[in-house]
Structure 1
Amino acid sequence: MKRAEQYVQEFKSYLQVEKHASPHTVYYYLNDVNFFLEFLLSESISFEQADPAVVRVFLTKLYEKKLSRRTVSRKISSLRSFYKFLEREDVVAANPFLRLVQPKAPAYVPSFLYEQELEKLFEASDLEAPLGQRDQAILECLYGTGMRVSECAGITIDDVDLSIGTVLVRGKGRKERYVPFGSFMEKAFRRYLQDGRERLLEKSKEETGKLFLNSRGKPITERGIRLILNKLVEQSAVHMHLHPHKLRHTFATHMLNEGADLRAVQELLGHEHLSSTQIYTHVTKDRLRTIYMNTHPRANRE
């Protein structure tokens, strides 16, 4: 009989090869599975013996640790997938997590930037310097397309078609989508490709197809993009916490606030389920006020 660790490794391969899960997802799934296996070991129970009663005890332990409902929900989801895999492999007869009701996560409203805040960020880069041109192109890319930071770091020169204004984005699960972009992003890309990128590439003396390069002329990393955004915040003297996903939130919010169709935004973001996009249907207070003043019969003030 195989040991639990062997099945965990097989589950890892399943996530990577069959589900095309991201390294981030694989890390958390395995972390959650190993956490449960340690619990079973402390209770002298094998992973094949886990049943709904054992799972309820485990759930109690999670709440005793004062974990958030979101974290508990994620662990349950990870373990449900693990036992679904074991069931498929005929290792267990039933999935003990199948009928477990996940704790309801608190309502989540993503934060976003107002246009005035964005303008200060777009004015922060030195467009005469190679790094400034690159930073501006990255900022335009994240806000102009709503792509994830991993997708942005992975763009190649061949993915970008400046003639028709589209970029090929490789998303989660190796799914590809074409996303259009406008004149501001096109201008930033042309400036960077014709000048800044060439000067950065000279520093490494190595050819690469990746679009965005670091200060040494090597392909930029996700961490590198996050550091660039932090630098732009400092240069613009705005007080905010800026991360790449906040620009994705901003893209979706601004699109929907201006009347974009929900399913169109879903496709642009690369969401598999519409429910993932619906969290952006909140509107700003300014827009609510504008709608009210323009539509309510007794809203007009003399």
Structure 2
Amino acid sequence: MKNNQNLSILFWLFRAKATKDGKAPLYARITIDGAEAEISLKRKVHPDFWDVDLKIDTQQNQEAKKTNAKVITTQGELDAHFTVLQTQYETITPQMLKNAYLGKPLFENKKEDTNQVKLPTLLDAFNDYITIFEKKVEADLRDDGTLRHWRTTRGKLLTFLNSKYQLTDMELSNVTYSFAEDFYDFLTLDIDQKLADATAKTHIKKTKQILTGCVNKNFIQNNPLSDFSCGSQNKEVLPHELYELEIIYNKFLPIKRLEEVRDAYIFQCFTGFAFQDTYDLSPENIVLIGSNKERWLIKDRGKTGVTEMVPILPIVEQLIEKYKDHSCRRNKNKLLPINSNYRYNAYLKELADICGLSAQNIEDREFHTHRARHTFAHIMLNAGVPLEDVSRMLGHKSIRTTQRYCKVHKPRISENMKKAKSAIFTKTGKFRKVA
């Protein structure tokens, strides 16, 4: 079926509805063949900071960041829905596209039996979950990054439904175990940017979670994906040894971007902060603790909401001082100059080569942001810091998570065994008498 209609999307401020502080609601105007429909993005922007051409809020704060992310996801989702509808219908109206985006039926059913309870579809269930999640993000109960992950999963699912079944949605009763197998194959084998095993299973895990919610609400009797294993083999990440960190820290780097990446990486290795949390750190996250005013870094983890609290070590203090006059501090109120995650990891590979510590195709020895976090756990545990304290500093919800991070040196095992041996046995190898 061929559809040659063109879609235009305009993001605009409804200034007539501006609030007392001057902020106006942000809308998306869908135009198809001259017909229009509008969608509220449920965000407000002051007209002085709205760039009409770039479609962004130009302010440097978290609210602007959320608004700009909402614009990008809305544009992407509308484009994706429109592409799918083009394969199904000869003519698409703006209202059809709006309904598809909102997870509503494409066409109004005026003769609907009001006594019949309409069960949600698969995408209905996703949309309901995401709508509630959006409210939790606005109330600072959930992280905006996690919300983006849920929207990504919904987008992948929509593309899969169109590719595999030529559908824009699916009844819950039609979801079977093979759905998960097909979805996994699609994500790892069929799409242009093929996903790794763990990433693909993350999307299926989210789909399973939605279906479990449908079971709890009595929309379906059981979860058809319950037996599909979303576990992945935990690849061991080898932490850095201290001598490697010394090489990295002392390496002369004439290229500024590599020097900044090196400093950020060392910062991570001695604080345990994940990439996004390191990126978000500001001077306000430095807190004075106790009567001696010890400087700590304290921040809620974006991923879990659990508070990380780490005393600032001397090497970290030096890095904070180094960038006190940097533009990242003056203009963006950031503690360190941090690149995007993609560029950061790419530059780390350059850094590894320059330092003579390249992984040589051994995946668990690669330089990447998460290896720094493992390194912090490794250093702290082997310095005698109790596991419970390491877990708290990493912001883990469970000590079991921390245990996966930590590797104990043979010297420490040997030292602890000597203590145990001395407590249990005499020098001649006999049992000590219990007092």
TM-score bucket of the superposed structures, by smaller chain: 0.7 to 0.9
Deviation at 1:208, TM superposition (A): 2.2
After superposition, give the CA deviation of every residue in 1:170-215 in whole Å (9 maximum; x if it has no partner): 412555433222111112211221x5x15x77xxxx732122236x
Query: Which amino acid in 2 is paired with 1:120?
Result: I
Structure 2 match to 1:236: 355
TM-score under structure 1 length normalisation:
0.72
Separation in 2 of the partners of 1:91 and 1:5? 17
Structure 2 match to 1:106: 233
Structure 1 match to 2:373: 248
Structure 2 match to 1:119: 246
Deviation at 1:142, TM superposition (A): 0.3
Deviation at 1:133, TM superposition (A): 6.7
> Residue 142 and residue 103 in structure 1: after superposition, are their counterparts in 2 closer, same or farther (change >3 A)?
closer
Deviation at 1:62, TM superposition (A): 6.1
CA contact (8 A) 1:21 1:173 kept: no
Separation in 1 of the partners of 2:266 and 2:164? 49
CA contact (8 A) 2:275 2:369 kept: yes
Separation in 2 of the partners of 1:239 and 1:7? 46
Unaligned runs of 5+ in 1: 215-219, 298-302
Q: CA RMSD in A?
A: 4.1
Q: Which range moved further: 285-294 or 264-273?
A: 285-294
Separation in 2 of the partners of 1:235 and 1:229? 10
Separation in 2 of the partners of 1:16 and 1:111? 37
Structure 2 match to 1:20: 143
CA contact (8 A) 2:296 2:312 kept: yes
Report the structure, 1 or 2, having the larger strand content: 2
1:169 aligns with 2:295: no
TM-score under structure 2 length normalisation:
0.53
Deviation at 1:232, TM superposition (A): 2.9
Larger radius of gyration between Structure 1 and Structure 2? 2
> Residue 164 and residue 48 in structure 1: after superposition, are their counterparts in 2 closer, same or farther (change >3 A)?
same
> 2:208 pairs with 80, 99, 109, which one?
80
1:158 aligns with 2:284: yes
Report the structure, 1 or 2, having the larger helix content: 1
Structure 2 match to 1:29: 153
CA contact (8 A) 2:262 2:348 kept: no
CA contact (8 A) 1:112 1:246 kept: yes
CA contact (8 A) 1:125 1:232 kept: no
CA contact (8 A) 1:33 1:82 kept: no
Q: Which has the higher contact order (CA 8 A, sep 6+)?
A: 1
Deviation at 1:150, TM superposition (A): 0.6
CA contact (8 A) 1:112 1:249 kept: yes
> Residue 231 and residue 157 in structure 1: after superposition, are their counterparts in 2 closer, same or farther (change >3 A)?
farther
Unaligned runs of 5+ in 2: 1-103, 106-120, 137-141, 189-195, 360-365, 423-435
Structure 1 match to 2:317: 186
CA contact (8 A) 2:184 2:204 kept: no
CA contact (8 A) 1:166 1:178 kept: yes
Separation in 2 of the partners of 1:66 and 1:288? 43
Separation in 1 of the partners of 2:259 and 2:164? 54
The correspondence of residues 198-237 of structure 1 with structure 2, limited to 5 A, is 207-213=331-337, 220-237=339-356
Structure 2 match to 1:145: 271
Separation in 1 of the partners of 2:124 and 2:248? 49
Q: Give the total of aligned pairs.
A: 282
Query: Which amino acid in 1 is paired with 2:131?
Result: S
1:273 aligns with 2:398: yes
Query: Which amino acid in 1 is paired with 2:386?
Result: D
CA contact (8 A) 1:120 1:238 kept: no
